[in-house]
Amino acid sequence: MKNEMYREIELAKSSVNWGALKALCLALFLIGAAAFLYQLFGVDARRAWSAYLTNYVYWTGLAFGTFLLSPVLILTNASWGRPIKRLSESVVLFLPVLLILLWPLFLGRENAFWWVLHPEEQKAPWLNTPFFFTRELVGLLLLILSAALLTRNSVKSDMEYIEGKPGPADRRRSDTALSTAYAILYAFIMTLVSFDMMMSLNPEWFSTLFGAYYFVVSFYSGLAFLAVLSTFAVKKMGMGDTVEKKQFHDLGKLLFGFCVVSLDFFYVQFLVIWYGNLPDETRYVIWRVIYDPWAALAWTVLIVVFIIPFLVLLLRRIKLEPVLLASISVWILIGIWLEKFLLVTPSLLKSKSLPLGIFEVLITLGWLGLFGFCVCSFLQKYPVLAVSDPMLAVALEPEKEKVRLA
């Protein structure tokens, strides 16, 4: 049965106009790059770097958070998500691009990071240019290597299965080891990225929970993207018989769960800062929640990222319908981008009006184009169904009774 599904999916996938999709993505990338360069050299360099840094932390979290589902499925021995396991791995080609995109931040570090021009003696051992960019490069490289090796094992196993060759007996043990490494590195490196790229923008503010909040929200955004990509796979790549309503239902429940966890981490940080009432800590929150032009955006983020998804995802029908789940997922992804904008931009720009306009939109579309090009390239080249996965057969078994959970 798996072989038949694989052939049907590959046949349907070949009918997708990948050339047009990748051309559109490249066009978006070029438009975004042109907007960034125009603003950098002709309008407002600091605002250009603010938009760039916002997108860097957003797309870094989204990419690594999307991939995280694959090692999670392996470590938990879960069968429900095996049909979308390869979709989770489809972001792997974008991960090395993040290393390249770190270099512009190095070149524009004087505009992006206050401590480059105004070093503080107490923080200089940690916040200095050589150590800062070295640890970011090394950390991201280790995380990318673990993801690449895990994907290589997965794809190679499929190729051997398709060709009728026996795979190595210890591959499952290798996958478990790599998944463990990725999960541990994910928590550590995403914490490092959040501390360095966002928390360090404010010289006096700190939160020990900020790293955990960032990597949880990143997984939240990754699940939302997977809901969108799974819908595309069902509608355009012939995966309707493998990615069924039970997969969307489980993905929706997981999305709802991490909506709650993200909201909890958000509230816990806020509660401790409010209760402690220390000027160094409250200044960061007050600037974003009470003062214009950020106050309206802060409440918008709370409603868009947490409140509305919480209420909508309570409905069982939303989680069972791919298009509806994809719609609320796009809503979540937009809200999380606004959340990153709120965390980064007030630290870099002092403005009486909200510095969110056409250039920020175009630069973000450029990042979207680059991300989409990498994902499309992977999906076009490699099998989208992990046909050699021994748990896939369990996931494809018909349900004995209809799902009744919320």
What are the residue ranges of helices labelled H in 198-244?
A: 210-236
What is the per-residue pLDDT for 352?
Answer: 83
What is the rounded CA–CA span in Å between residue 251 and residue 254? Answer: 5
What is the per-residue pLDDT for 403?
Answer: 46
* pLDDT tens track for 169-204: 667 888 999 999 999 999 999 999 999 999 999 877
Which H or E run contains 264?
A: helix 245-276
CA 291 to chain centre: 29
**Residue in 184, 194, 200 with CA at minimum distance from that of residue 215:** 194
What is the per-residue pLDDT for 142?
Answer: 97
What is the per-residue pLDDT for 167?
Answer: 63
Q: For residue 155, what are its two tokens? A: 């794809």
What is the per-residue pLDDT for 320?
Answer: 93
**Residue in 39, 140, 41, 65 with CA at minimum distance from that of residue 340:** 65
Amino acid at position 96, single letter: P
Q: For residue 156, what are its two tokens? A: 């190679």
Q: Residue 184, Cβ neighbours under 10 Å: how many?
A: 13
What is the per-residue pLDDT for 1?
Answer: 57
Domain ranges, ordered by start, for the chain:
2-392
What is the per-residue pLDDT for 276?
Answer: 75
What is the per-residue pLDDT for 206?
Answer: 80
* pLDDT tens track for 88-129: 999 999 999 999 999 999 999 998 898 888 888 888 888 899
**Residue in 334, 332, 335 with CA at minimum distance from that of residue 318:** 332
Q: Which regions in the chain score pLDDT beneath 50? A: 401-406
